[in-house]
């Protein structure tokens, strides 16, 4: 795909350049021509001139305002040398010259005087005109000084180099089918219009970051064979009020001229934020104007028969203004979700095309181990694995490189340089084994794969790697409670063994509390509070992303009840973790001792050890009735 400037170099730009060139020449001529006309006289200091006059060596003098030219007396028949000097204010000079009998006169006005003064008057305005023309001409282009209001859209034109096609996108089949239909329509609209079908005007790609929304749009550009205007939402919003809306107007104007064509607005939420979510400083005027202009333009081209399809992408559909989603605007929403097992395999296949794979590489196995990875994560994974292989001076990428790369992506880079002291190491070991034992007992679909006390990333001193054995889209209450208990397992182990707790569990507690709060306020899992949503706005579309939204306005009573419920969930999970660990105290010691020795336990050894975990008796009184 190649990118080119929208406008051709305009004629005014050409004129500007010519003018600039011509006036430049005039200026040069003015500066240097007089000097070039004759040999320059040798410059002499004024004192030497006076001295020579007094000595009677000078034959004639021409006194000008800025220069005195004088000729020495001829010697041996040759004409005397001509010298020049700069005059000083010297009223005695005529008297002196007269007394010496030297011929003198005022300098004649320069012969090209009228020409020079003409240049002096004409050239400067010419230069100004030329510069002005120059910038006006550039204003039509992209970065010109006067380009502020012009749309910054790039136009993608079909080109051979690096063209993205639908074959480069995998794992998002529904979205692909939808967009293929649109490309079909642009290529042969008659087939659709004959039946009376109306193609949606606005198509909104919605999905978590890195799932390939921008990539899909580029593929549309590559396949459609029509002009493709691409701009990012943030480019509309600038410091200058009114710029955004004029940019929108320009963009649609250009697009209509080139119809049929596609306009792609990436990161739509930058302009399309809900207008009533003004926040502390009130609404954002600029953004609002831009949004209004966009709405107007989208309504505007409904009437005409110009085929302009507006494609947009966002990962925050819940924050978009309702007016944007109304029929006639972005009425079609296409979910671009994280890929499933076969999708991940297909994406891995695409990205490993350029990588030399070893014979033992099993992309399917890798796909199985990476649920929740988006396309961008998988692309990154392949690259990490290739880097690892190269670092180890291997010629092909092996399966073990992928295994290592998965861990890197999941847990951050291995940091062998951070050394824990013995006590810290012991605490971390008990903590991680605590997670593992509780995890082995409680969670349904996640299996503990690895325990390590080799520090990784910025925060984790050790880690327990739990990988799902299958894709899960729904979780039930028991599983969520198990997850919370597992998160608290680390801290509980520290409590049991050392009787005290360290700062190492802060992140665990944060996640446990967030999860509990979501159970109560979003998933309606509390019997006391009932199936009500207590969060502001909509529930994030993607399970388990981010911390809970701010609560909607609830009575103080309800607010207190929520807090009580959250606390109860976390505390009962805590009790459960403690009970489990107490019941398996021997195992906790054995595994920890082994972990301290080897630093890492994984695979069969780990399954065998964790297989011995005994269930704990249910807590005497269940926290929730």
User: Which residues are known to be catalytic?
Assistant: 432
- Residue 215 interacts, among ligand ADP, Mg ion, Zn ion, none and using kind-specific CB cut-offs from 5 to 8 Å, with ligand ADP
Of positions 58, 68, 169, 334, contacts ligand ADP by CB under 6 A: 169
> Which of positions 89-108 make contact with ligand ADP (CB under 6 A)?
none
Structure tokens at 328: 């006639």
Q: How many angstroms separate the Cα of 86 from the Cα of each of 42, 49, 179?
A: 12, 10, 82
- Which of Zn ion, Mg ion, ligand ADP, none does residue 151 bind (CB under 5 to 8 Å by kind)? none
Considering the complex, state which of residue 169 and residue 441 has its C-beta at the smaller distance from ligand ADP.
169
**Are 389 and 396 contacting, i.e. CB atoms less than 8 angstroms apart?**
yes
Minimum separation from the CB atom of position 187 to Zn ion (A): 55
Phi first, then psi: give them for residue 321, nearest 5 degrees: -65, 135
Pick from 477, 474, 489: which is nearest to 610 by CA?
Answer: 489
**Nearer residue to Mg ion within complex by CB, 205 or 437:** 205
Q: How many CA atoms lie within 13 A of 211 on its CB side?
A: 24
Order across the sheet with 308-314: list the strands. Answer: 2-4, 154-157, 228-232, 261-266, 308-314, 202-206, 332-335
182-221 footprint of ligand ADP as x/- string (CB under 6 A) = -------------------------x-xxxxxxx------
119 vs 170 by CB, closer to Mg ion: 170
Strands 2-4 and 154-157: antiparallel
Residues 139, 244, 317, 375: which binds ligand ADP (CB under 6 A)?
375
**600 by DSSP, 3-state: which?**
strand
Choice from 490, 512, 569, 577 touching Zn ion (CB under 5 A): 490
Q: Does 508 bind Zn ion (CB under 5 A)?
A: yes
Q: Which residue is nearest to Zn ion (CB)?
A: 490
Pure H helices in 466-549: 477-498, 506-521
Q: Is 214 in the site for Mg ion (CB under 5 A)?
A: yes
Query: Which C-beta is closer to ligand ADP: that of 182 or that of 601?
Result: 182
CA distance 520 to 518: 5
Whole-angstrom Cα distance, residue 515 to residue 470? 21
Considering only 23-31, 362-370, 482-490, 587-595, which stretch makes contact with Zn ion by CB under 5 A?
Answer: 482-490
Footprint of ligand ADP on residues 505-534 (CB under 6 A)?
Answer: none
Does 222 sit near ligand ADP (CB under 6 A)?
A: no
Alpha carbon distance 268, 255 (integer Å): 18
- When the beta carbons of 97 and 336 are compared against ligand ADP, the nearer one is 336
Question: Is residue 314 a contact residue for Mg ion (CB under 5 A)?
Answer: no
317 binds ligand ADP (CB under 6 A): no
Phi, psi of 174 (to 5 degrees): -60, -45
Is the CB of 73 or the CB of 511 nearer to Zn ion?
511
Strands 2-4 and 42-43: unpaired
Q: Which residue has the tokens 């794979």?
A: 357
The residue from 203, 248, 263, 379 that contacts ligand ADP (CB under 6 A) is 379
Q: Is 148 in the site for ligand ADP (CB under 6 A)?
A: no
How far CA 298 is from CA of 185, 203, 237, 327, in Å, comes to 19, 12, 18, 11
| Site residues (vs Mg ion, CB under 5 A) | 214
Kindly list the residues in this chain that would bind ligand ADP in the complex (CB under 6 A): 169-172, 207, 209-215, 313, 347, 350, 375-376, 379
Residues in touch with Zn ion (CB under 5 A)? 490, 508
């Amino acid at each position: 795909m190649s990118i080119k400037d929208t406008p051709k170099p305009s004629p005014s730009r050409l004129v500007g350049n010519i003018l600039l060139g011509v006036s430049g020449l005039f200026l040069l001529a003015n500066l240097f021509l007089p000097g070039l006309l004759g040999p320059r006289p040798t410059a002499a200091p004024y004192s030497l001139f006076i001295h020579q006059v007094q000595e009677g060596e000078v034959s004639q003098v021409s006194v000008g305002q800025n220069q005195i030219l004088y000729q020495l007396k001829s010697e041996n028949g040759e004409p005397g040398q001509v010298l020049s000097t700069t005059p000083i204010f010297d009223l005695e000079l005529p008297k002196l010259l007269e007394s010496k009998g030297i011929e003198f006169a005022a300098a004649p006005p320069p012969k090209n005087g009228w020409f020079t003064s003409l240049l002096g008057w004409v050239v400067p305005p010419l230069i100004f005109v030329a510069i002005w023309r120059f910038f006006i001409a550039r204003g039509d282009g992209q970065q010109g000084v006067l380009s502020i209001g012009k749309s910054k859209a790039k136009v993608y034109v079909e080109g051979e180099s690096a063209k993205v096609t639908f074959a480069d996108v995998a794992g998002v089949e529904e979205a692909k089918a939808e967009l293929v239909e649109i490309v079909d329509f642009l290529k042969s609209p008659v087939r659709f219009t004959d039946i009376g079908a109306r193609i949606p005007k606005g198509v909104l790609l919605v999905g978590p970051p890195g799932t390939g929304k921008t990539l899909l749009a580029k593929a549309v550009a590559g396949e459609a064979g029509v002009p493709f205007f691409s701009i990012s939402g943030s480019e509309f919003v600038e410091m200058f009020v009114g710029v955004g809306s004029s940019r929108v107007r320009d963009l649609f104007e250009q697009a209509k001229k080139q119809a049929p064509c596609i306009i792609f607005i990436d990161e739509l939420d930058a302009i399309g934020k809900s207008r009533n979510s003004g926040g502390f400083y009130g609404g954002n005027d600029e953004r609002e104007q831009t949004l209004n202009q966009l709405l107007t333009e989208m309504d505007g081209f409904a009437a005409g028969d110009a085929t302009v399809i507006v494609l947009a992408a966002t990962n925050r559909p819940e924050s978009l203004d309702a007016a944007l989603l109304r029929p006639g605007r972005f009425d079609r929403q296409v979910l671009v979700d994280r890929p499933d097992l076969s999708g991940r395999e297909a994406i891995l296949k695409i990205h490993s095309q350029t990588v030399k794979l070893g014979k033992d590489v099993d992309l399917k196995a890798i796909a199985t181990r990476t649920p929740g990875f988006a396309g961008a994560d998988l692309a990154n994974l392949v690259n990490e694995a290739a880097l690892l292989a190269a670092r180890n001076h291997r010629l092909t990428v092996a399966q073990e490189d992928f295994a290592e790369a998965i861990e890197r992506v999941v847990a951050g880079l291995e940091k062998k340089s951070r050394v824990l002291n013995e006590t810290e190491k012991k605490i971390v070991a008990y903590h991680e084994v605590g997670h593992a034992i509780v995890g082995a007992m409680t969670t349904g679909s996640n299996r503990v794969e690895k325990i390590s006390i080799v520090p990784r990333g910025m925060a984790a001193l050790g880690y327990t790697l739990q990988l799902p054995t299958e894709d899960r889209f729904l979780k039930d209450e028991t599983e969520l409670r198990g997850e919370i208990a597992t998160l608290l397992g680390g801290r509980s182990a520290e409590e049991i063994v050392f009787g005290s707790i360290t700062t190492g569990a802060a992140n665990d507690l944060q996640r446990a509390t967030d999860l509990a709060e979501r159970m109560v306020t979003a998933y309606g899992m509390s019997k006391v509070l009932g199936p009500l949503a207590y969060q502001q706005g909509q529930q994030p579309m993607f399970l388990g992303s981010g911390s809970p939204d701010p609560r909607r306005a609830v009575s103080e009573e309800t607010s207190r009840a929520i807090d009580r419920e959250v606390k109860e969930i976390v505390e009962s999970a805590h009790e459960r973790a403690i009970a489990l660990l107490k019941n398996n105290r021997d195992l906790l010691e054995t595994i920890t001792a082994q972990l301290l020795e080897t630093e890492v336990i994984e695979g069969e050894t780990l399954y065998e050890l964790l297989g011995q975990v005994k269930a704990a008796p249910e807590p005497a009184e269940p926290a929730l009735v």
